[in-house]
Structure 1
Amino acid sequence: MNNFYYFNICTKINSNLASRPILNGIKILKRDMEKKFNVTEGVENRIDLVQDSELNPEVYRIVFSAPDAMEIRASDDLGFVYALLYLSNEFLKIKPFWFWMDQEIESVDYIEIPIQTYTSSRKAVKYRGWFINDEVLIDYMCEKNQSDELWDMAFEALLRCGGNMVIPGTDRNSRKFRQKAVDTGLWITHHHAEPLGAEMFTRKYPHLEASYKKYPKFFHALWEEGIAEQKDHKTIFNLGFRGQGDYPFWAEDSAYDTPQKRGALISELINIQYDLVEKYVDNPVCCTNLYGEVMELYNEGHIQLNPEIIKIWADNGYGKMVSRRQESTNLRVPALPTNKGRHGIYYHVSFYDLQAANHITMLPNSIDFVNQELHHAFAKGVGDFLIVNCSNIRSHVFYLEAIKKIWEGKEIDSTGHAQVFVSEYFGDFGNVAACFSDYAKCTVKYGDHEDDHAGEQFYNYGVRVLATQWMKDNNNHSPDFAWAAENGSFGRQVAFLENTCTKGLNSFSDLVSKCEKVSNALPEPQKKVFDSTIYMQSKLHLYCIQGVLDFCDAYEDFTGEKYMRAFYKAGRASEKFQAANAEMRKSEYGVWNGFYENDCLSNCKFTAYILKNLMSYIRMIGEGPRFFDWQRELMYAEEDRRIMLLTNLRNHMTDDELFLAMKEKNIYS
């Protein structure tokens, strides 16, 4: 008897199951077969999809009734989808992030699959998936190209990771791409600021105050409409009540001025929402986010919840399971359950806080740290639900791949994960793995806690906040930077930023040098991916750090009334942030052409623009109102500078012209 099944271009996939998720799974596998197999004469055999009601949901079993007949058995859509994608991953070697990492697919005539039984493994988390949040890069690309390809590839990657749940975008996107996600077989859930996935009150009634006390029936109607729209989908209804954005409702309604009043209203509305869901859905799955201020109310006993509701605990945006920092308040209350029940996690590999988080670079804390935090949370009983803020995906694949392993129940470490990851997407080439695993060791530490490591927002928002305060009033500290350096003068805040970023200068310089050597040794396909991922991100950190340090030097010169030098240093700082933006744009090619064009959240190019404005301000102080002294000093011969029969012989130089002249004359090297 032949011990192998010959998987080849002639293999037929037979199914009388016509659900959209199964048809989509078959379509993906057929596409992958075309990628992998040469068009040649092959063995005619088949893959039959067989309904098996004895299997649990999402479970599959692959068996062989004959050497030319493979059977995929499952009881539901996701069981079949996972089996089809298992064949793609395990035998065609098309990896979960093949699209996002530009995996090179080596073609063959056929693949021998050992004839044995293959059964899916049990996951450590029941509901597991991604929140495609802060998706400004994906959104812009899809709009620019008039294509939803990146959304299709996001849902496919999630399924390939064994995910079964998604929040398909933020605000309007979550509704726009809901059906597309449903058609892949994924469960739908909702942003914690958008209960039940319903239309936001302010969008429906823009001229009314968003007050539940005034308009309860309007809120009820919106919720009921949202439930009715999703009742036939696999939906995990997110219950709750915040404001009309990512902030609490009492920020706009002073009537709720005590924790008791706030908790009582939230409890009442969650119960009303739960009853509404039960009106439309038998045995509904519901959850609520204990996020930010809501966790504090829950822990203090002000919120009472139905025990069937999954309670979702959140990390602080940096991977630590404690409450997040709210402006300058950082209580770091443990964000894990102390009682039994149904519990889950909202976890970030990307975060946006206008302070120090990461959006276009990887999480600044290590894989070891992430593994420790999540497994500790599992030990505390949070195995019902795990939703990961994956942002725009491409920048965060290294960590998303790690969390895939963790929600499968695996223990991982930084070095081992990097080696496996690199072997799958780069092959066996030099020190690529070390570049990935060393990244988190280099990130700037801005505070005393183990997770106080900075993403690229620290440099960009730090400079923009302090530059604004400098131009408005440098005699007083910036309240917007008080979260990092609360006490003392503005000068001390600048010194804090300088001292903090100095810690990362040598480490990222070394990492960039290591990446450069690795890059030069890589074949072109792998080099292109390496340069546009870890190498680009390392340079982005380095250039931003250098820009910060030039900015801080500029302030030191400014306070010493060395205005011309301060002007030059501010210009150099602007150039460094422009260089960081240029590195992102250089990493674009093919399908990624224009990917970073809409970096509107961290926005290195805008930091460079703000620093240009700072140059003008410094020039106003140092050379105004006549604006000819610096030009004379730079451009006139020594014997002509002090002769003032004519103030200037040519038009006044612009800031850019002055800065260029300073660079050419190398007067502040």
Structure 2
Amino acid sequence: MITFNTRIKLNSELEALSSVKMAVSALQRDIANTCYKTATPGMDIILEQAPDIKGECFIIKEKDNTLSIAASDELGFIYGIYHVSKTFLGVHEFWFWNEQKFSKREGYQVPSDYYFASKPFAVRFRGWFVNDEVLIDGWQIDGSRQKPWEMAFEALLRCGGNMTIPGTDENAHIYCDLASKMGLWITHHHAEPLGAQMFLRAYPDLEPSYDKHPDLFEKLWIEAIEKQKDKKVLWNVGFRGQGDRPFWADDPAYDTDEKRGRLISKLIRRQIDLLKSYDKDAICCSNLYGETMELYKKGFIDIPEDVIFIWADNGFGKMVSRRQGNHNPRVPALPEVGAKGRHGIYYHASFYDLQAAAQMTMLPNSPEFVARELARVCDHNAKDYWIINCSNVKPHAYILSLIARLWEKGPDGDGLNMDEFCTQYCSDYFGRENAGLVSELYMLWSSYCPKYGPNEDDRAGEQFAQHGARVLMTGLVTNFNVDNPADTKAAAQWRWFSDKDRLIEQVQDYKKIVEGAVSGYRKYLDKCLDAESKMDSQGKELLEDLLIWQVQYHYYGYLGALHICNVVEKALLPQPDFLDAFYEAGLAAKAFYEGYDNMRTHENGAFEGFFDNDCEADIRQSYYASKSLMGFLRFHGDGPHFYEWQRRFQQGAGGEKVHLILRIKKHLPDDELWKMIHEHKERPST
């Protein structure tokens, strides 16, 4: 039996491995979290080296009240340690991120003669890109900025992951050592070949042109190789731009596909040559992402066959090229069946596109869709490398758990039944007694995500509400046609969704989707609240903090967006109704703020402050923008003297029919005026 007094023993060679020691410490913590302090003796857990066991595999045996974990390498031991934690103590992969509650016992029985032998993973290199990590970035656990990253990497290892891009831009350099110390392979962002610092970070005053500064680019590459040469690294080779953009955006000399492809091909070979001078066995990979994949498909990029080709989904889980601005060619993003070489994928459980994606909330497409798409990936033999954009981990744990199941066993391994998978996931974190209720709610998620386009994956996340509303607000303010409001020109940044010439037409297209979303999320929220009422207090708290807050983020976001649609419609009438538009803008601000405030109430325990830096979807900014919009509308409808609306609604201000030359009440700020109008509208008519 495993008890509080269980000892974990390892030899001096394993003691020297920081990764194994950290996993052992995690198991000791798990024992302390699940066992009472008692005098009851516990069985020993011993780690034994076994060179004949395949890499990353382990064998666990019980004999004579001793549990042995045998493996041939550090990851085998780590996976074995976490297998013990999950199987016997019930500490699941996302125990931290899903705020799993533990009930302590005296001990946990291990069956006599227990035997388990793990199998090799279906995918060779598999891991997370901690990208768009804006919530993790400024958040601390017990005053530590590093602890959130350690918990992310622990969850990845518990899921059987073996590699990571440990953050975006500067974070990747800060947390590279921690990830390596924990036993993970390091790989790189597609904008940072070889993990080198971006050129403009190192040389902010210089033009980022390889033709003009080849020595400086290569200096950065060499520095990166030397810094990482003693780590386990999958070296990313390529040449994109300074950030998430093509290099020719900063270098107009490359104005044809042929020129662009020729330079990328040349620099990939140059990077490989530099790398091989340090390590002739180095493993290289290269991203065929966005515009780079289009160049490759056209035959303008030549990559050596021993490089792992990384194909990317479009951010919504479909293996086609991503939409960039208004450009959405949806080029198939998988190797041909039977293609030579090694292939992998960059896949998004979270995505940020300033258009329709989901980064704060779960992927808008269904787990069934994800499983089908990843089955296609395996059919095309892209199983050498899977890097999954996990963003801030917590909102995406459900899909990350599914993907971990797929990279371990493959789409057909042991038969994947999605209903059973969902029920088991919910049982793990919400308890068996709540699993049925909660699994039904999880399985409904994608059905309520708005369908905004003709493709099966065209389902919207929270950015469709937040960025959509703000783009249309901006279009109204900056394009407003005073002489002919109805002819106000369209918002250029919304043409990807509605390629109309007038703003009013774009709003009408958008409103059709938004109205359905508001109605749908209200129904979904009611279903969640009904299920919550049937659960115990512990289940209620978890449902609130794991799922309901996400549904509410959508509900309030789309409700605010619907009010913005009403604003634009009223402001663009032939005779604009600025007063009603002002009122609708206030309702939008109210909805956005309620969504923000509600989200912040779901920060408990270690997650205090977790949502503070919601800056990509940013429902708080939608609130600020709506408040500014109120001022714009008041200028047009009540300026320059700002007394007509106040007269109409404020007692003692003269009334709208009595026109005084001088005012008798001080001007009200927008908030107070809006509250007065709201009280008037809410007052029952007599």
Q: TM-score, normalised by structure 1?
A: 0.97
Any conservation in 1 of the 2:141–2:606 contact (CA below 8 Å)?
no
Q: Matched residue of 2:459: which SS?
A: coil
Aligned to 2:251: 253
Any conservation in 2 of the 1:8–1:110 contact (CA below 8 Å)?
yes
For 1:241-268, what per-residue CA distance to the aligned partner results, in whole angstroms no more than 9, with x for missing partners?
A: 1111111111111211111111111111
Aligned to 2:635: 620
Any conservation in 2 of the 1:573–1:608 contact (CA below 8 Å)?
yes
Q: Distance in 2 between matches of 1:134 and 1:668?
A: 46
**Match status 1:405 vs 2:405:** yes
For 1:483-532, what per-residue CA distance to the aligned partner results, in whole angstroms no more than 9, with x for missing partners?
A: 00012311110111101112222221111001111222322222122112
Any conservation in 1 of the 2:653–2:664 contact (CA below 8 Å)?
no
Aligned to 1:238: 236
Q: Distance in 1 between matches of 2:252 and 2:386?
A: 34
Q: Distance in 1 between matches of 2:78 and 2:218?
A: 37
Q: Distance in 2 between matches of 1:144 and 1:76?
A: 32
State the superposition RMSD in angstroms: 1.6
Q: Distance in 1 between matches of 2:515 and 2:582?
A: 21
Any conservation in 1 of the 2:163–2:186 contact (CA below 8 Å)?
yes
For 1:422-461, what per-residue CA distance to the aligned partner results, in whole angstroms no more than 9, with x for missing partners?
A: 1100012252111111011001111111111111111111
Structure 1 stretch displaced more, 364-373 or 423-432 = 423-432
Q: Matched residue of 1:356: which SS?
A: coil
Q: Distance in 2 between matches of 1:496 and 1:43?
A: 69
Any conservation in 1 of the 2:653–2:665 contact (CA below 8 Å)?
no
Q: Matched residue of 1:113: which SS?
A: coil
Q: How does 1:468-479 map to 2 (within 5 A)?
A: 468-474=474-480, 475-479=488-492
With over 3 angstroms needed to count, the CA separation of the structure-2 counterparts of 1:638 and 1:83, relative to structure 1, is closer
Deviation at 1:143, TM superposition (A): 9.1
Q: How does 1:157-236 map to 2 (within 5 A)?
A: 157-236=155-234
Amino acid at match of 1:557: K
For 1:532-551, what per-residue CA distance to the aligned partner results, in whole angstroms no more than 9, with x for missing partners?
A: 22111111111111111111
Aligned to 1:127: 125
With over 3 angstroms needed to count, the CA separation of the structure-2 counterparts of 1:465 and 1:406, relative to structure 1, is same
Q: Distance in 1 between matches of 2:588 and 2:678?
A: 13
Q: Which of 34, 40, 52 is matched with 2:50 structurally?
A: 52
Q: Distance in 2 between matches of 1:170 and 1:329?
A: 25
Deviation at 1:579, TM superposition (A): 1.1
Structure 1 stretch displaced more, 512-521 or 317-326 = 512-521
Q: Which of 317, 320, 331 is matched with 1:319 structurally?
A: 317
Q: Distance in 2 between matches of 1:640 and 1:278?
A: 83
Aligned to 1:507: 520
Amino acid at match of 1:335: A
Gaps (5+ residues) in structure 1? 1-5
**Match status 1:155 vs 2:168:** no
**Match status 1:422 vs 2:429:** no
Q: Which of 107, 112, 120 is matched with 1:110 structurally?
A: 107
Q: Matched residue of 2:679: which SS?
A: helix
Deviation at 1:177, TM superposition (A): 0.4
Aligned to 1:99: 96
Q: Distance in 2 between matches of 1:640 and 1:71?
A: 86
Aligned to 1:3: none
Any conservation in 1 of the 2:261–2:295 contact (CA below 8 Å)?
yes
Any conservation in 1 of the 2:462–2:557 contact (CA below 8 Å)?
yes
For 1:170-211, what per-residue CA distance to the aligned partner results, in whole angstroms no more than 9, with x for missing partners?
A: 011001001100111000001111111111111111221111
Amino acid at match of 2:192: E
Aligned to 1:84: 81
Q: Distance in 2 between matches of 1:40 and 1:487?
A: 72
For 1:211-257, what per-residue CA distance to the aligned partner results, in whole angstroms no more than 9, with x for missing partners?
A: 10011111111101101111111100011111111111111112111
Q: Distance in 1 between matches of 2:609 and 2:141?
A: 11
**Match status 1:68 vs 2:65:** yes
Structure 1 stretch displaced more, 449-458 or 34-43 = 34-43
Aligned to 1:7: 2
Q: Which of 537, 546, 563 is matched with 2:550 structurally?
A: 537
Q: Distance in 1 between matches of 2:568 and 2:7?
A: 70
Structure 1 stretch displaced more, 406-415 or 623-632 = 406-415
Deviation at 1:278, TM superposition (A): 1.2
For 1:320-379, what per-residue CA distance to the aligned partner results, in whole angstroms no more than 9, with x for missing partners?
A: 000000100100010000123200010001101000101111100000000000111111
For 1:72-110, what per-residue CA distance to the aligned partner results, in whole angstroms no more than 9, with x for missing partners?
A: 211111011110110001111100000011111122222
Aligned to 1:306: 304
Aligned to 1:578: 593
**Match status 1:462 vs 2:468:** yes
**Match status 1:136 vs 2:134:** yes
Aligned to 2:503: 490
Q: How does 1:553-592 map to 2 (within 5 A)?
A: 553-560=566-573, 561-592=576-607
Q: Distance in 1 between matches of 2:497 and 2:655?
A: 49
Deviation at 1:392, TM superposition (A): 0.4
Q: Distance in 1 between matches of 2:533 and 2:42?
A: 45
Aligned to 2:30: 32
Q: Distance in 1 between matches of 2:360 and 2:615?
A: 10
Amino acid at match of 1:609: Y
With over 3 angstroms needed to count, the CA separation of the structure-2 counterparts of 1:416 and 1:402, relative to structure 1, is same
Q: How does 1:587-666 map to 2 (within 5 A)?
A: 587-636=602-651, 640-666=655-681
Equivalent residue pairs, number: 663
Q: Distance in 1 between matches of 2:24 and 2:655?
A: 81
With over 3 angstroms needed to count, the CA separation of the structure-2 counterparts of 1:43 and 1:639, relative to structure 1, is closer
Gaps (5+ residues) in structure 2? 481-487
Q: Distance in 2 between matches of 1:417 and 1:601?
A: 31
With over 3 angstroms needed to count, the CA separation of the structure-2 counterparts of 1:467 and 1:407, relative to structure 1, is same
With over 3 angstroms needed to count, the CA separation of the structure-2 counterparts of 1:136 and 1:143, relative to structure 1, is farther
Any conservation in 2 of the 1:366–1:414 contact (CA below 8 Å)?
no
Q: Distance in 2 between matches of 1:357 and 1:44?
A: 50
Aligned to 2:485: none
Q: Distance in 1 between matches of 2:510 and 2:195?
A: 40
Amino acid at match of 2:450: V
Any conservation in 2 of the 1:414–1:437 contact (CA below 8 Å)?
no
Aligned to 1:517: 530
Q: Distance in 2 between matches of 1:489 and 1:644?
A: 38
Q: Matched residue of 2:139: which SS?
A: helix
Q: Distance in 1 between matches of 2:529 and 2:264?
A: 54
With over 3 angstroms needed to count, the CA separation of the structure-2 counterparts of 1:668 and 1:197, relative to structure 1, is farther
**Match status 1:390 vs 2:357:** no
Q: Matched residue of 1:534: which SS?
A: helix
Q: Distance in 1 between matches of 2:6 and 2:615?
A: 47
Amino acid at match of 2:94: F
Aligned to 2:377: 377
Structure 1 stretch displaced more, 382-391 or 486-495 = 486-495
Any conservation in 1 of the 2:141–2:147 contact (CA below 8 Å)?
no
